[in-house]
Structure 1
Amino acid sequence: MQSRDNIVSIGVGPSFAYLDNGGQYRSFNFEFKPSVSASLIKRLNDRFEIRATGGVQWISSGGNPSTSVTDIWTSNNSAFTANGSVIYFDVMPSFYVIPFGNHMNRSMFNLYGGLGLGVMHSNTEQTKSFNAEERPVRKKVTTGYVPIRAGLSYSIGPFSDIALEGTMLLSFTDNLDGNIGFNRFDNDILVQGQLVYRRYFFSDFSR
């Protein structure tokens, strides 16, 4: 049987943003928000593939920063809060731990992962205090990023898989949230955990 070497996938799940004003991450005092993604994948051989992924992740500041921290933010004219969304698109090569030449011969479970390059665009409303009467200011940022993805897939039929997939989007900016200098890793990072449905198909759609 001719192998179906193309895959379309749709994923949804929780996410969070590692931001300067995102919260206290060591104590898990931060906001979880939804994320959605869709991918087109072309298998190149029995182990490697090329993948294009687009999606959206909602982001929010959170936590309870101390007075000493907010005093620094005030002196730096930094945002206390940022709420909105990030749309993104990337291309990445990835590989399977267990190779397979034909979709009918793939193992029940498999691990896959890779990294690539992409571009993201954030659209947030930001405030520079916790005053409920302050009118938020809308800010937009476009930047590049490096996506890192890994997943565990499970075959649920001859043409379909479900997978648990984790993703980190390492941005090239520290200003998605309007606040600079408090990230341990310098730049802002988006983190996602998704349940993904994957479907194998022929490229010409004629079979």
Structure 2
Amino acid sequence: MLDLPKPICDVISDGIANSEVRRKENIINMEVDSKLTGYFLAFLGADIPLLPPTSFADTCKLLRLCDQFEATNEHVNLVRERLVGESKGKLWELLAFASKMDDRNLGLMALKEMNLESFSHGREPEGKYDGLFVNRISDLSLAWQGKLYSSPLKDETVTVNRFCLCTRVSKKGRDYTTRDWEPTQVPGLTFVDSWERNCNGFVTDK
């Protein structure tokens, strides 16, 4: 992971050139700065893994590194727990990040921090204003969008008021047509009543 010093002179022999090529091939590129790289190496090498203070964005990068370099479950779970702890006001962002990594466990942890009301209104649990559920879901990977549309929603017949043509009878006994709101039975999608049931459905492949 550490680069070697560059050759002193600009003119190098074939042997040195070949050595330079081999050296570059053996370098592991990490798309993080040196500080975060140091955190990651210390985290992996410690007898008792401990995470230094990191921002939400940097903790996401650490989890990507854990995935890239196949860290142990112990390390991955510690980073997941840190992310959930840092996710207040960012649960939808965390859910989107988990979907990009296809980390179902992290996604479940994010969902359990939500509730049916906040999820169905596309907002954070502590938020006062509704978001837009469709926009929130569109930030997720396509596979997770399908899962989160099918898991918390159920098909059923619902009653809605529709503005339609109606036939009325006047006081003189004559039929006439007018427009009015009428209760109408239509197919619809409604959210399941149990948020726990939705979370449990998310981790299954049914």
TM bin (shorter chain): under 0.3
Q: Which has the higher helix share?
A: 2
When Rg is computed on C-alpha atoms for both structures, the one with the higher figure is 2
Of structures 1 and 2, the one scoring higher in RCO (CA 8 A, sep 6+) is 1
Q: Which has the higher strand share?
A: 1
TM-score normalised by structure 1 residue count:
0.22
